[in-house]
């Protein structure tokens, strides 16, 4: 156990946590940032066209820029390390991780979201053996192989846009009658002749031997057996807030914050996709991370002089 008491601990190094860390460094706080990785979901994005200052940048390139930015401030992210719990001890806050235990005067939770699972037969058995939740990470493994993307929103179409360039056949399995992704993405996908969209369709089973070989799909009342080597599950995300049980959360498990990023527990702030702030975007998460750090600074200066 570390006996040191930090002024601030930031949990998570996605856009929200990284931005909070840059602000903390500029305020010369004695702080720590722990995370499972750097970049978070931003690292999984294919084409980013809505982060001001870059007309186009890929997720991995933006992550590299984040890394350069924090390195310039001498910030070391402690990773891979996973927060397992947060407790309040009088005024102090205890953060328990899978490796250690830390104490701080203030904490910012910026743990974002994780992919939602499909929960069908074969999903767990073939996880990392053809079933994947990150097209940008695993897409190249399926070059020249037929794949299925499950979903109908921006993440699913992001995966289709990536895979249609390298796969001979991409099935898009959409549970609804229409796609909910941005129009610009829908247009690009509709123009591709190697993409087949199955609306009103659900995956019932993923099968194979050592690796995925096929999926069974029910579309309206018909059943189809599609031969695919990869299954990209892109059906939404769940906030990673389960370790923060002391914080008030909404039904969807989003941490409730006010406009100063304060949670219901004094000294604990939250920012980005893990919160109930509307719209989940990189630029919004960055702004929220900045705001959370400034609120934490204000709290530290008034409560911990």
Ligand X SMILES: Cc1cc2nc3c(=O)[nH]c(=O)nc-3n(C[C@H](O)[C@H](O)[C@H](O)COP(=O)(O)OP(=O)(O)OC[C@H]3O[C@@H](n4cnc5c(N)ncnc54)[C@H](O)[C@@H]3O)c2cc1C
Given 50, 71, 200, 301, the residue binding ligand X (CB under 6 A): 50
255 binds ligand X (CB under 6 A): no
- For ligand X, the binding residues in 130-189 under the rule CB under 6 A are 155, 158
The answer to whether residue 138 is catalytic is yes
Given 20, 25, 113, 201, the residue binding ligand X (CB under 6 A): 113
The answer to whether residue 293 is catalytic is no
**Least spacing, CB of residue 95 vs ligand X, in Å:** 9
**Least spacing, CB of residue 59 vs ligand X, in Å:** 7
Q: Which range in 43-51, 168-176, 198-206, 253-261 contacts ligand X by CB under 6 A?
A: 43-51
276 binds ligand X (CB under 6 A): no
272 binds ligand X (CB under 6 A): yes
Closer to ligand X at the Cβ: 12 or 208?
Answer: 12
Question: Interface mask (CB under 6 A) for ligand X, residues 15-34, using x and -?
Answer: xxx----------------x
Kindly tell me the sign of the dihedral angle through the C-alpha atoms of 172, 189, 157, 200: negative
Catalytic residue among 138, 221, 242, 293: 138
The binding site for ligand X (CB under 6 A) comprises: 11-17, 34-37, 40-42, 44-45, 48, 50, 82-83, 110-113, 155, 158, 240, 243, 272-273, 280-283, 285
Active site residues: 134, 137-138
């Amino acid at each position: 156990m570390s006996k040191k008491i930090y002024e601030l601990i930031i949990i998570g190094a996605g856009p929200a946590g990284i931005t909070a860390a840059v602000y903390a460094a500029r305020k010369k706080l004695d702080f720590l940032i722990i995370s499972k990785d750097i970049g978070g979901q931003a690292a999984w994005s294919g084409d980013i066209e809505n982060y001001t200052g870059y007309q186009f940048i890929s997720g991995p390139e933006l992550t590299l820029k984040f890394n350069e930015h924090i390195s310039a401030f001498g910030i070391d992210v402690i990773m891979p390390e996973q927060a397992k719990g947060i407790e309040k001890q009088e005024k102090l806050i205890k953060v328990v991780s899978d490796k250690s235990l830390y104490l701080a005067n203030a904490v910012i939770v910026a743990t974002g979201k994780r992919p939602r699972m499909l929960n069908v037969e074969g999903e767990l058995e073939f996880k990392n053996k053809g079933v994947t939740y990150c097209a940008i990470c695993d897409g190249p493994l399926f070059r020249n192989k037929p794949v299925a993307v499950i979903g109908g929103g921006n993440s699913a179409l992001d995966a289709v846009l990536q895979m249609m360039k390298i796969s001979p056949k991409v099935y898009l399995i959409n549970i609804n009658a229409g796609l909910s992704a941005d129009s610009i993405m829908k247009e690009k996908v509709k123009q591709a002749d190697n993409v087949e969209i199955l609306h009103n369709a659900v995956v019932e089973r993923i099968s194979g031997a050592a690796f995925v070989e096929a999926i069974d799909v029910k579309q309206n009342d018909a059943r189809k057996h599609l031969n695919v080597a990869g299954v990209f599950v892109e059906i939404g995300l769940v906030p990673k807030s389960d370790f923060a049980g002391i914080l008030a959360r909404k039904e969807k498990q989003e941490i409730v914050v006010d406009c100063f990023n304060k949670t219901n527990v004094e000294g604990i702030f939250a920012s980005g996709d893990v919160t109930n702030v509307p719209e989940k975007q990189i630029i919004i998460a960055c702004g929220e991370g900045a705001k959370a750090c400034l609120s934490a600074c204000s709290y530290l200066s008034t409560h911990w002089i």
